[in-house]
Structure 1
Amino acid sequence: MSLRWWVALVALIPLALSTNPGVKVKLTEKGLEYGRQLGMASIQQRLKSIKIPDMSGKERVSPIGKVRYSLSNLQVVNVGLPQSAVGLVPGTGVRLSIGNAFISLRGNWRVKYLRVIKDSGSFDLNVNGLTVATSIAIKNDETGHPEVSIAKCDAAVGSVNVKFHGGASWLYNLFRKSIGRALRNSMQKQICPLVVEAISDLNPKLKTLNVVAQVDQYAEIEYSMVSSPTVSDSYIDFGLKGEFYNIGKHQESPFSPTAFSLPPQNNNMLYMGLSAFTTNSAAFVYHKAGALSLYVTDDMIPQGSPIRLNTRTFGAFIPQIAKRFPGLMMKLMVKTAKTPVISFEPNNVTIQATGTVTAYAIQPNTTLTPLFVLNLETSVSARVFVSEVRVAGAVSLNKMSLTLGTSYVGEFQVRSLDSILQVVLKLVVIPTLNVQLAKGYPLPALGKTKLVNTQLQVLKDYILIGTDVEFTN
C-alpha cells in the first residue's frame, strides 16, 4: 500500500473544456482518514531506508589529547509513527503531520588515541520526538493526469540518545554529545527528501489510471477534470467530464451538462454524482454507432409463446400478408430513429425512445421482402445498481404506441399489431438490452479497488452513489 488513497481520486484524468461536469466526486474526511492509515505504511518504509554515511572526526580529550573516532555500518532497526493526522487546507490541498515518531539505528564505532591505542565496539542510536509537517498540492500534469507534489515540508528531531557497547566507556562518554549532534543533523536532513519521494512515488501510479475507460467495442468514457479540485475544510470536490465517445472518435454530444451539487453527506468515504448528461451522452454514442438495433427472428421467441414470427400469425391481423406470402417466416428489425432521452427524477429513471420496426418476409432463397415499417414510441423505467466498480442497470416497459410509417402490403389497422409487438419487446428486445446493461460501465476508480457499503439514490437530474473503498492486492 502507498499514500495513494487520499490523492487517488484525482486520478480522474485529462483536462476538458466543458464548464459544468457530467460527474462529480467528493472525497470526505472519512476517506482521508482511511488514506492516512494506508499512507503511514508508505512513509514508514521510506524512513527505514534512511542512509547515514560513515562518519569520522577527532576530539581533544584531556589528559590524553586527540582522539580520532569513526562510525560505520549504520543500519535502521526500527521506525515508529505512533501519532499522525491528515487534514484539508481550504483552497490548497492536503496537510499531513506526524508527531512523536522514533527511529532506532545500530552501528559500529572505532577510536584511536595516543597514536597507537585502539578501541572498538557497537552502538545503538535512538531518535525520539521526530515531527514532520507537510502540505501536499494536487493538480493536473500536461497530459491531464493527476499529479501530487510537496508544497512544503518541515521536519525536526527532538532528541538523540547514543548508547555505546564494548570498549572503554569512560572514553566514548567524553564525546558522546558531539557524535549525537552529528548524527542528529545528518538524519534530520534526510527526512523531508524521503517524504517527498514517498509522495512522488504516487505519480507513476496515477499515470496508469483509466484516463479513458473503454466500455465495449462501441464506446469509451472520459473522466477528465473540467477544473481544479475544490478543497474545503471537510471534503475535496472533483468535477469530471463524464462523457461517452465512440471508440477512437471524440465527437462531442449535441448537448451540455447542467449544474448540479452533491448533498452534504459524510457517512461514506466517497460520493459520486452521475448526471443525466453522462447517460444521455452514452445514448447518443450508441445510437450513432448503430448499436441500438436488433434483428428479431422466430427462434428468439420462447417456444411456449402463441405468437410466432411468420406470415400465418401476421396474416391473422393483416390478411394480405398471408395471401401474398403464404407459409414464410418473418424477421423484424427494431432500431432507434433518434437518440433516446434519459431523465432522472427522485427514485425514478425513465427512458423515452423513438424507433422503427421494419417487418420482412424471408423468401426461400433467404432474401428479405419488406412488408411494412411501424413508428414506435416507447417509455421504459430503469433500475440502476452498482456491480463491483461499474454502474449497471435493467429496464422494463412502461408503455408503447405504434403508428404506420410505410406499408408495402396495403392499408391495415396498426393497433391490431399491439399484442405482437408487446411480446417482441418484452420477451426479446428488452431482455437483450438488459444483458448489455448488466455489464455496466466503469466508474472512476484507482488501481485494484473494491467498493463496499455502497448505496445508490436517484435524485433530480443525477444519481448519487455513496461508498467506502478498500484496496486489494
Structure 2
Amino acid sequence: MLLHAWLLLVALTTLTSGLNPGVKVKLTQKGLEYGRELGIASIQQKLKTIKLPDVSGSQKVNPIGKVSYSFTNMHIINVGLPQSAVSLVPGAGIKLSIGNAYLSLNGNWRVKYLKFIKDSGSFDLSVSGLSITTTVAVNSDETGRPTVTGNNCVASVGSVTIKFHGGASWLYNLFKDFIAKALRSALEKQICPLVADAISDVNPYLKTLNVLAKVDEYAEIQYSLVSSPVISTTSVDLSLKGEFYNVGKHQEPPFIPNVFSMPPESNNMLYLGLSSYTANSAGVVYTTAGALSLYITDDMIPASSPIRLNTQTFGAFIPQIAKHFPGLMMKLLVKAAKSPVITFESSNATITATATVTAYAIQVNGTLSPLFVLNMDGSVSAQVFVRGTRLAGSVSLNEMDLTLGTSYVGDFQVKSLDRIFQMVLKLVIIPKLNDQLAKGYPLPTIGKMKLVNTQLQIMKDYMLIGTDVQFSG
C-alpha cells in the first residue's frame, strides 16, 4: 500500500489539459524523496514474498562420482534495502535505484551418492550486494486516468553465502559453490517480476482519481489527463484540464485558458497552479444554471436592522411607492445579468459582477407588483484558502454602483437607495455567498490523500498552492 501511495502521488503529476491548461501541477525532488521512502517500504514487503521453486539435479563430484541433490522448502527470512535513490529521466520516467540490499532464506537439502548413501539437513543462504534498478513510466488510459508500468528492470546479486547444517560437511563443501550459483540465478529471475507486479498493482488505485469531481447540484470539475507529463532533471511538470461544467452537460466556456508559468519553487513536495480560467469557468456554469439569483424577503433581514423590506421604508425615498402601495411588504429578486469575472493580481483576487435587482410589492393576495428594476455593478475582494483537500474562500464588498433600468412608479433618485442596497449586500447576499464558498471546491486528489504544510499565494493570473502530501491506507 505504501508503494501504491507513492505512485498515486507520481501519477497525479500526469494530469494535463489542451494547449493552455487551467491547472498545472509540479512534483518536486522533495516529493520524489517522500515517494522513495514509501516505495522502498512497499518493495521490501513485496520481496519477502519471493518463493523459490525446489531445485534438484545431479552433479559429478570428484572423487565420489555422480551426486544427486535436492533443495526444498526454501523461504525468505529477511529482506533489507538500506540504500536507494530516485532520479528523473527526461522523456522516460522516474528511475528507482536500490543498492547494497540483502536478503536471507533457509531450506532443506538432501543428497544421494554411490547409489545407496543418503544424507540430509538444513541450510541458510545469505545474499549481499543486491542491486535493483527500474523505471516507472506514466501514461493515460481511455478515461483520462493515469496508468503506470515498470520498465527496464535489472536485478543483480553481489555475493551468495550458503551454510549447511547436519550431514557430512566434507560432502556438501564439494558442491556448495555450484548450488549457490543455481540459487543466485533463481533469485535474480524472481526479483524483477515482483517489482513489476508491485508497480502494476497500483493501477486499480489510480481509478480513484477524481477525473470528474462533483461540486454540488449545479457543477462538476473535470481533471482528466489529456497529454503526457513533462519530465525535467529537477521536477515533473504537468497540466490539468481544470474546468467547471454544468452537471451532465459539458459545454466549453466562451474563452480559452490564459497562459501562466509556474515558478521554480522547491520547498514543498507538490505545487498546484489554478488559473483564473478555472475560476471564471465556474462563473459561467453557475450563471448558466440560474444559480446566481436570489429572492430576498424581509425575514432574511436581521431583526435589529432599522431598514425593512416594505413600502414604508422605500416610500421614504420614493414617495410614490408609499402612495400607491401603502402598508405592503416587499420582495427583491437579485439576478446575475452575466457571468462574474474573476481576476488574479499579485496578492489580490477580485470578482466583478453585473446584476439586476427587481423590486416587488407583495399584494394581500400574494401577487407581486413590480416597482422598479435596477442595474447593479459591483466588485468584491476574495480571500482564498485550502481546507482539507478543498479550495474554499470568502468575499467582502469593495464597491457598488446602481443605475435605473426600468421604473413602474415614475422617476426617482437611484442614489438615495445606495444605503439600502449596501445593507442588503452585506447582510444577506454576501453571507449567503460566503456560506457556499466555505463549503469549498474539490482539488484533484487520488486515494486517501492529505495535504499538509499548505500555503496559498495569489499570483498574476493564477493561484499558487504549495503543499506537502501524506497518504494513508
Contact 1:3 1:40 survives alignment (8 Å): no
Contact 1:336 1:355 survives alignment (8 Å): yes
**What's the RMSD between the two structures over aligned residues?**
1.4
Which runs of structure 2 are paired with 1:270-419 in the superposition (5 Å)?
Answer: 270-419=270-419
**Deviation of 1:310 (Å):** 1.1
- Structure 2 Cα separation of the partners of residues 139 and 259 of structure 1: 24
- Structure 2 Cα separation of the partners of residues 10 and 363 of structure 1: 61
Corresponding residue for residue 11 of structure 2: 10
Contact 1:156 1:188 survives alignment (8 Å): yes
Is 104-113 or 371-380 further displaced after alignment? Answer: 104-113
Is 298-307 or 53-62 further displaced after alignment? Answer: 53-62
Corresponding residue for residue 221 of structure 2: 221
**Deviation of 1:7 (Å):** 5.3
Whichever residue aligns with residue 339 of structure 1, its letter is S
Q: Name the SS of the counterpart of 1:2 in structure 2.
A: helix
- Structure 2 Cα separation of the partners of residues 368 and 250 of structure 1: 36
Which runs of structure 2 are paired with 1:169-188 in the superposition (5 Å)?
Answer: 169-188=169-188
**Deviation of 1:10 (Å):** 3.0
Given the superposition, is the C-alpha separation of residues 201 and 375 from structure 1 closer, same or farther in structure 2, using an over 3 Å criterion?
A: same
**Deviation of 1:13 (Å):** 7.4
Which runs of structure 2 are paired with 1:4-403 in the superposition (5 Å)?
Answer: 4-5=5-6, 8-11=9-12, 16=17, 18-403=18-403
Given the superposition, is the C-alpha separation of residues 15 and 453 from structure 1 closer, same or farther in structure 2, using an over 3 Å criterion?
A: closer
Q: Normalized against structure 2, the TM-score is what?
A: 0.97
Contact 2:212 2:222 survives alignment (8 Å): yes
Query: Deviations for 1:342-369, whole angstroms, at most 9, x for unmatched residues?
Result: 0000011111100011111222222222
Contact 1:217 1:247 survives alignment (8 Å): yes
Q: Normalized against structure 1, the TM-score is what?
A: 0.97
Query: Deviations for 1:7-66, whole angstroms, at most 9, x for unmatched residues?
Result: 5253367775x3101101000000000000000011111111111101111223344332
Contact 2:4 2:205 survives alignment (8 Å): no
Query: Deviations for 1:170-214, whole angstroms, at most 9, x for unmatched residues?
Result: 211111111111111111011111111111111111122111111
Unaligned runs of 5+ in 1: none
Whichever residue aligns with residue 43 of structure 1, its letter is I
Contact 2:16 2:226 survives alignment (8 Å): yes
- Structure 2 Cα separation of the partners of residues 237 and 311 of structure 1: 60
Whichever residue aligns with residue 320 of structure 1, its letter is Q
Q: Name the SS of the counterpart of 2:151 in structure 1.
A: strand
Q: Name the SS of the counterpart of 2:349 in structure 1.
A: strand
Whichever residue aligns with residue 169 of structure 1, its letter is S
Contact 2:15 2:239 survives alignment (8 Å): no
Q: Name the SS of the counterpart of 2:34 in structure 1.
A: helix
- Structure 2 Cα separation of the partners of residues 193 and 175 of structure 1: 29
Q: Name the SS of the counterpart of 1:10 in structure 2.
A: helix
**Deviation of 1:453 (Å):** 1.1
Query: Deviations for 1:260-296, whole angstroms, at most 9, x for unmatched residues?
Result: 1011110111111110000000011011111111111
Q: Name the SS of the counterpart of 2:3 in structure 1.
A: coil
Report how many aligned residue pairs link the two structures: 472
Is 314-323 or 379-388 further displaced after alignment? Answer: 314-323
Whichever residue aligns with residue 322 of structure 1, its letter is A
Given the superposition, is the C-alpha separation of residues 63 and 92 from structure 1 closer, same or farther in structure 2, using an over 3 Å criterion?
A: closer
Q: Name the SS of the counterpart of 2:95 in structure 1.
A: strand
Give aligned-pair identity as a percent. Answer: 68
Unaligned runs of 5+ in 2: none
Contact 2:357 2:375 survives alignment (8 Å): yes
- Structure 2 Cα separation of the partners of residues 433 and 156 of structure 1: 62
Q: Name the SS of the counterpart of 1:154 in structure 2.
A: strand
- Structure 1 Cα separation of the partners of residues 138 and 130 of structure 2: 26
In the TM superposition, structure 1's runs of 4+ consecutive aligned residues that sit over 6 Å from their partners are 12-15
- Structure 1 Cα separation of the partners of residues 13 and 422 of structure 2: 42
- Structure 1 Cα separation of the partners of residues 174 and 222 of structure 2: 67
Whichever residue aligns with residue 423 of structure 1, its letter is M
Is 286-295 or 409-418 further displaced after alignment? Answer: 409-418
Q: Name the SS of the counterpart of 1:234 in structure 2.
A: coil
Contact 1:11 1:211 survives alignment (8 Å): no
Given the superposition, is the C-alpha separation of residues 455 and 398 from structure 1 closer, same or farther in structure 2, using an over 3 Å criterion?
A: same
Whichever residue aligns with residue 5 of structure 1, its letter is W
Contact 1:295 1:332 survives alignment (8 Å): yes
